[in-house]
Amino acid sequence: MATNPMQFLDLPRQDPQKTPAEIRIHEFGEIIGQFDPATAGQQAGRCLACGNPYCEWKCPVHNFIPNWLKLVEEGNLFAAAEMSHKTNSLPEVCGRVCPQDRLCEGACTLNDGFGAVTIGSVEKYITDEALKAGWRPDLSDVVPTGKRVAVIGAGPAGLGCADILARNGVEAVVYDRYPEIGGLLTFGIPPFKLEKNVIRTRRELLEGMGVEFRLNTEIGRDVEFQALLDEYDAVFLGMGTYNAMQGGFPGEDLPGVYPALPFLVSNIREVMGWEHDENGFVDMAGQRVVVLGGGDTAMDCNRTSIRQGATSVTCAYRRDEENMPGSRKEVVHAREEGVQFEFNVQPLEIVGDDKVEGVKVVRTRMGAPDERGRRRPEPVPGSEYVIPADRVLVAFGFRPSPSDWFGEHGIDIDEGGRVRAPESGRHAFQTANEKVFAGGDMVRGSDLVVTAVFEGRQAAEGILEYLGV
C-alpha cells in the first residue's frame, strides 16, 4: 500500500524528539514531542502493509493500523482521525501510554532488524493534530433511541462504553466520585506521560457528543445503586481496582512509608494546583527514596520522586530486568533520569526505630516458571543487606475492590474479587444481573488503558444488543 513499499530500507525508524533527561527532571510536562506533518507522513510510509497485519491482532482494540498509516502518509488527517476512532475511544491517550513494545510495535514485521513503525506516536499525532485543525466526531446521522444508560466510573472503560452508546443514539450519563473524568488517567498516571489537558479535551468531545458527566458523585454513598437501576434501562460498571497490595513484612507502618497511588495523586494535585485530599502532599525533596515494585506504577513513583528533587531513587525489584512487568520504554526513561535499579532483591523488612532508615532485602535467583510462565524468584540464603532510605514507596499493584452492595443486587464476583462479566456471555460483559454490565480493571484485574477501553466498548455493544437497539 505504501507509495514505495521498500521505503523502510532507506528511512530508519525515527521517534519524535524527547526532552533531554537533564531538562525534563526539573519539570512535569510530557517528555515526548510531536512529529511534524512531513516526518509523520514519512514514518507512516515505512509501513510494509503486510498482508496479515500482526500489529492489528496484537493491538487489544484491533486498530486498523496499516489503513490509518496510509492515510497519514497521504496527508489525509481527518480521514485518519475518523478511521482511528472506529476502533478506539481514546487513541490520543493510547498512543501516549500503551506499552507499544509489547503490543502493536512489538508485533511489527520491521522489528526484524529494521525498527518497528512508530505506531503509537502516529496514533497520537492523528488525533492531536486533527483536533487542532478543527476535526470533531461526526454524529449528525445518529438517531436517538430514547434509551438511557448509567455508567459508573469515568475511567477508560466507562469512557469507552459511553462513546459507543452515544454513537448509537443511547443517552449515557456517567457518574464518578472524583471531580474530573479520566479515572487513573487523571488521578494516577503522571503528567510527564499524559498531560491533563488531553483528558480535558476528550471531556469536551464527549460532552459535544451528548454524554453527560455527573462528577463528585459516589454511587453507594451519594446515590443508591437501586436508584440507577430504577431510572435507567441498563447500568455499566467501570469502577477499576483500588485495593493496594501490601508486602506483609515488618516496618510497613513506619513513618516515611507511603503507598504508591496516594503519593502519585498528591503530586498531580500539587502540579495542577488542585486542592489536596485528606492525604496531603508527600514531598520527596532531599530524601533518599526506595521504590518497591517493578510495574508501571513503580516507574511512575521513581520518576516523580526524581522530579521532586529526591537525593537518590532506588527501585528494588524481586525478579530480573527481563521479567519486569512494566513497559520497557518507561524503564529506559527512568534510567536516563537517574533512577538506580536493584534487580533480584526481595524486601524482608523496612528498618528504623521511629522512622524509616532502610529496607532490608535478600538477593534472589530466578527459579522455575509459575503458572503464568514468569520465573519465580527464590531467596539466596545469607545474602541479606540493607538499602539506606528516608522514604519508601510501596508499588506492588492493586487487588479488586468490590463494593459491598454488589451482592444484594445479584452482581457476582470471583474468588479474587473480580466482577464476573464474561466477554463471550449471552451479551458481552453482562453480569449475573441482566441489567448490569461491567468491564475494565474491575473485571480483568489491574491491566492497561487500552484493554479497559476495549472492554467498555464491547460491553456497550452487549448493552445495545440487550436493549434491542
d(Cα 142, Cα 166) in Å, to the nearest integer? 8
State the minimum distance, in angstroms, from the CB of residue 31 to ligand SF4: 17
The least CB distance from residue 188 to ligand FAD, in Å, is 4
Cα separation, 351 vs 450, whole angstroms: 39
Distance of closest approach, residue 33 Cβ to ligand FAD, in angstroms: 18
Phi, psi angle pair for 232, to nearest 5°: -110, 165
DSSP 166-182: HHTT-EEEEE-SSSSS-
Which of ligand FAD, ligand SF4, none interacts with 237 (beta carbon under 5 to 8 A by kind)?
Answer: none
Helix (H, G, I), strand (E, B) or coil at 165: helix
Closest by alpha carbon to 185, among 293, 109, 96? 96
For residue 42, what is its C-alpha cell?
Answer: 514519512
C-alpha cell at 68: 490509518
211 binds, among ligand SF4, ligand FAD, none (CB under 5 to 8 A by kind): none
CB 415 within 8 A of CB 408: no
Q: Please name the amino acid found at residue 266.
A: S
Nearer to ligand FAD, 186 or 287 (CB): 186
Instruction: Provide the pairing of β-strand 375-379 with 358-369.
Output: antiparallel
Report what 184 binds from ligand SF4, ligand FAD, none; CB cut-off 5-8 Å by kind.
ligand FAD
Q: Which does 183 bind (CB under 5 to 8 A by kind): ligand FAD, ligand SF4, none?
A: ligand FAD
Cell readout for 176 is 464518578
Pairwise CA distance, residues 241 & 135, whole Å = 34
Nearer of residues 44 and 184 to ligand FAD, judged by Cβ: 184
| CB 219, min distance to ligand FAD, A | 4
Closest to ligand SF4 by CB, 121 or 267: 121
Nearest to 316 by CA among 285, 336, 339: 339
119 vs 350 by CB, closer to ligand SF4: 119
Please say which residue, 329 or 363, places its beta carbon nearer to ligand FAD. Answer: 329
Give the span between the Cα atoms of 244 and 260, in whole angstroms. 8
Residue 88: which of ligand FAD, ligand SF4, none does it interact with, CB under 5 to 8 A by kind?
ligand SF4
CB 334 within 8 A of CB 238: no
Q: How far is the CB of 190 from ligand SF4 (least distance, A)?
A: 19
**Cα(462)–Cα(430) distance, integer angstroms:** 7
**Least distance to ligand SF4 from the beta carbon of 100, Å?**
5
Beta carbons of 180 and 269 less than 8 angstroms apart: no
Instruction: Name which of ligand SF4, ligand FAD, none residue 220 binds, using a CB cut-off of 5 to 8 Å depending on partner kind.
Output: ligand FAD
CA distances from 207 to 126, 172, 289, 393 (A): 21, 10, 41, 37
Beta carbon of residue 261, minimum distance to ligand SF4 (angstroms, whole number):
23
Burial class (CB in 10 A: 0-12, 13-18, 19+), 13: middle
The residue with its CB nearest to ligand FAD is: 155
Contact partner at residue 65 from ligand SF4, ligand FAD, none, CB < 5 to 8 Å by partner kind: ligand SF4
Q: Which helix (H) or strand (E) holds 431?
A: none
Q: How far is the CB of 34 from ligand SF4 (least distance, A)?
A: 15
Contact residues toward ligand SF4 (CB under 6 A) are 59, 61, 63, 65, 88, 94-95, 98, 100, 103-104, 119-120, 123, 450
CB-nearer residue toward ligand SF4: 65 or 345: 65
User: Least distance from C-beta 358 to ligand FAD, angstroms?
Assistant: 25
Residue 59 binding partner per list ligand SF4, ligand FAD, none, with a CB distance cut-off of 5 to 8 Å that depends on partner kind: ligand SF4
Closest to ligand SF4 by CB, 77 vs 282, is 77
* CB 227, CB 117: distance < 8 Å: no
Task: Tell me which residues touch ligand FAD (CB under 6 A).
Answer: 97-98, 152-158, 175-178, 183-184, 188-189, 193, 218-220, 238-240, 261, 264, 296-297, 300, 440-441, 446-450, 452
Look-up of cell digits 492489528: 56
Nearest to 377 by CA among 387, 385, 369, 386: 369
123 binds, among ligand SF4, ligand FAD, none (CB under 5 to 8 A by kind): ligand SF4
Q: Which residues contact 322 (CB under 8 A, 6 or more apart)?
A: none
Q: With respect to ligand FAD, which residue has the nearer C-beta, 67 or 186? A: 186
Instruction: Work out how close the CB of 54 gets to ligand FAD at its nearest, in angstroms, rounded to a whole number.
Output: 20
Q: How far is the CB of 88 from ligand SF4 (least distance, A)?
A: 6
Which is closer to ligand FAD, CB of 123 or CB of 176? 176
List Cβ neighbours of 10 (8 Å cut-off, separation of 6 or more). none
Which listed option, ligand SF4, ligand FAD, none, makes contact with residue 212 (CB within 5 to 8 Å by class)? Answer: none
Nearer CB in complex with ligand FAD: 130/301: 301
Indicate which of ligand FAD, ligand SF4, none lies near residue 213 (CB less than 5 to 8 Å, by partner kind): none
Q: How many CB atoms lie within 10 A of CB 133?
A: 10
